[in-house]
Structure 1
Amino acid sequence: MRTAKSVVVTLTVAGLTGAAVSGAVASPPGDPALQRSLDALVQQEKFPAALATVSRAGRTTTLVAGSARLGQQVPVPRDGRVRAGSNTKTFTAVVVLQLVAEGAVELDAPIERYLPGLVRGEGVDAGAITVRQLLQHTSGLPNYTEYLGLDDFTKIRHRFFQPHDLLAAALAHPAKFPPGTRWEYSNTNYLLAGLLVERVTGRPVQEQITERVIRKAGLRDTYWPQPGDQTIQGPHPLGYAIGGAAAGDVVDATEMDPSWGGAAGQLISTPGDLARFDRALLDGKLLPPPQLAEMRKTVDAPLMPGWRYGLGLFRVPLSCGGAYWGHGGDIQGFETRGGATEDGRSVGLAVTALPGTFGDAGKAAEAVVATVDTAFCR
């Protein structure tokens, strides 16, 4: 879940670090490099904790570094639950594409067909924006998270948002560009994709994601928090964010109302489940071949060199050749990254703060991406 079009938040805070405890679980030969990378995320980039799950050649390895609680030596739960943020978008995209496969939705039809009279604003033409452009982030719709006041997190962390509140926040601002003319990340696209799912199926989007994706993929530690649930259920590390009385204060952001994430970023999961989801998706267990092929038709996504975006899915180049497919998520308290490759490798990684919470945002974000690369290429 991004709060701006940049791949990282541009907030910094200095001088607040926790005691580090690191360790590996069931490390086969070759994993020390990944463990060193996780340790570096804690020791150099000052993330309180880092968690990784790696599967290759039929073997799964779980690694952790740091502490589950800032300033204390508390073991990090193995494959603990975290807020998955924008990984939710891939789940939402899968449901939309399943509906395409069922003939209930046309990928290149205008969103006005499915959400008549709903999408209105300066420079916004719902008759010209297609379902594909929503899923691809080429709609030109303004990003609602830019207008919620998330930079002052403590003021909104316990507020419940209805989807139409979020849509109104976005559509109070003009369109960014004509549909299909460029790529720009906007959570509003997936807010509307979730509303489309509800209109077409007549059921809540969280129910559709649970039945059609989470259960089908066998994800035992992934769930959509119910209205009013501000906790993370099950074993989990604490997550930290900037947002206190003084500028630069760091707060425990573990408990929050995630309703502003919705179909764009509300899910809770684990690194292992996220890796399993990407593996199941790439292996064709969630979509028929034609819809999976549409999902993997990409456009340039200039967040980092070589990144491309399909329909709810990034293609990220690897230093060892080839690429992995996945998404990632940024939400107060947690960042997640990872995906799966054609040859059977899959990786899930989480850190317990957004880049920039404890140091340089750009450097920390690059370190997280580099650690995922190490996990695939070691």
Structure 2
Amino acid sequence: MKNRFIQILVLSAGLYSCHQKNHTAENIGKPKQSVLVSQVSAYADKATKERYASAINSFFEKNFGSRGFNGAYLVAKDGAIIAEEYNGYRDPVLKTSALGEHDAFHLASVSKTFTGMAILKLWQDGKLNLDDDLSVFFDKFPYPGTTVKMLLSHRSGLPNYTNFLEAYKWDKKKYVTNLDVLAALYSYHPPLQFSTGKRFTYCNTNYALLALIIEKVTGQSYHTYMEETFFKPLNMTDTYIFSQADFERSMPSFEWNNRKYGLEFMDLVYGDKNVYSTVRDLLKWDQAMYNGKLFSEQTLQAAFSGYSYEKAGQRNYGLGWRLTEVDNGKKIVYHNGWWHGNNTVFIRMPEEKATIIVLGNKYNRNIYHAKQLCDLFGDYKQSHNLFQESESENTMATGGSQ
């Protein structure tokens, strides 16, 4: 087929090792001028190759060249990596270990794509119904009429634990668990943000509860289910679910001014966040949604359809995925993340089978501009419309999870 990419030539281990050793303090905040661009098939002419290389180089130099980017990015087409770079250090203050392909970043709310697809897998396998009331899983759930689908699509109206726990004077010396979030809904019974099912409002409580539903239905921990259902079968060897025991080995995160985050009281809640992964493992996750082995076409259609049309505009939310529905009929399937100093972007263009992934552990809002690169692959009308969704819309007051 025309304009198809062949598989990227694999760099030798020695070559990669040399590449990593060449990272020095001078590289921090300034990605290399030469981005790795793969060979293109014989059907792609020289002009096409040069267009990809020039556009990707220009984008990352403009947005990250002198703006303190500490992280990794990967751009792929048809499963082949066409651009990949690791810039900076695991700890940008100490600068003792240069970032490489096996360094896993906190995905923040990109984690929701895993939780959402895990629920849909259970639905696909006949283990639950999306219209099940939460009382099916949690006895006498205090907000009747709330369904699984409402959690997935952020239409539940439930109060956000990242806000109400502090409002009800949670002891910050005690780490919050998912069960604590559930128990607090019973004991505090904070008011709904709006009538259940009426509209969309992004809420991390939804996905903390979905993780508990996964555990209830499977009889396994969320960590075990994700490992056995997704990470191992997809050979995502550098991906894991964070727990307190992982604190010392996990990638630390930093504010833009290099202030380092410690372990804070809401950091152990999972489902809405706490998947750690790499750009290459996320590409494997991306590709798993094409081959039909894990998910049926019906499941993917449910995941990538919009459910909130109360307001006019391009932005919508599916079941675990953000959507940009362009006027010309094209659709971007993606998710952003922000938790503490971690910024993440995971963008999929199913029509072109193109993928853009940017992960950082030092706060840098320019990471969210990655959506502009979509126009490299199709007419998504993003390059003239800077991706500047307001932080108040996408994040919580606590520096929360997008």
If the TM-score is normalised by the length of the shorter chain, which range does it land in? 0.7 to 0.9
What is the aligned counterpart of 2:232 among 204, 215, 236?
Answer: 215
Question: What is the deviation of 1:211?
Answer: 1.0
Question: What is the deviation of 1:250?
Answer: 4.4
Q: How does 1:134-149 map to 2 (within 5 A)?
A: 134-147=151-164
What is the aligned counterpart of 1:110 among 128, 133, 147?
Answer: 133
The corresponding residue for 2:358 is 349
2: distance between equivalents of 1:303 and 1:22? 39
Question: What is the deviation of 1:264?
Answer: 1.1
CA contact (8 A) 2:35 2:57 kept: no
Q: Which runs of 5+ in 2 are unaligned?
A: 1-26, 39-48, 384-402
1: distance between equivalents of 2:317 and 2:152? 10
2: distance between equivalents of 1:43 and 1:303? 37
CA contact (8 A) 1:240 1:254 kept: no
2: distance between equivalents of 1:281 and 1:109? 25
2: distance between equivalents of 1:278 and 1:31? 22
- The answer to whether the aligner puts 1:167 opposite 2:182 as a matched pair is yes
1: distance between equivalents of 2:29 and 2:342? 17
CA contact (8 A) 2:345 2:358 kept: yes
SS in 2 for 1:116: coil
Q: Which runs of 5+ in 1 are unaligned?
A: 1-17, 243-248, 356-360
Question: What is the deviation of 1:35?
Answer: 2.9
2: distance between equivalents of 1:206 and 1:143? 23
CA contact (8 A) 1:315 1:326 kept: yes
2: distance between equivalents of 1:282 and 1:115? 34
- The answer to whether the aligner puts 1:70 opposite 2:92 as a matched pair is yes
After TM superposition, the score normalised by the length of structure 1 is 0.76
- The answer to whether the aligner puts 1:241 opposite 2:255 as a matched pair is yes
* Runs of at least 4 residues off by over 6 Å: 254-258, 301-304, 318-321
RMSD: 3.5
SS in 2 for 1:281: coil
SS in 2 for 1:141: coil
2: distance between equivalents of 1:232 and 1:303? 44
Identity of aligned residues (%): 21
CA contact (8 A) 1:328 1:336 kept: yes
2: distance between equivalents of 1:182 and 1:220? 38
The corresponding residue for 1:40 is 62
After TM superposition, the score normalised by the length of structure 2 is 0.71
Greater RCO, CA 8 A, separation 6+: 1
Question: What is the deviation of 1:84?
Answer: 0.8
2: distance between equivalents of 1:318 and 1:93? 23
SS in 1 for 2:146: coil
The corresponding residue for 1:265 is 273
The corresponding residue for 1:55 is 76
The corresponding residue for 2:287 is 279
SS in 2 for 1:208: helix
1: distance between equivalents of 2:276 and 2:58? 27
2: distance between equivalents of 1:313 and 1:146? 22
What is the aligned counterpart of 1:94 among 106, 117, 134?
Answer: 117
SS in 2 for 1:339: strand
Cα–Cα, structure 1 residues 204 and 369, in superposed 2: closer, same or farther, change >3 Å? same
1: distance between equivalents of 2:302 and 2:63? 35
* Count of matched residue positions in the alignment of Structure 1 and Structure 2: 333
2: distance between equivalents of 1:263 and 1:135? 11
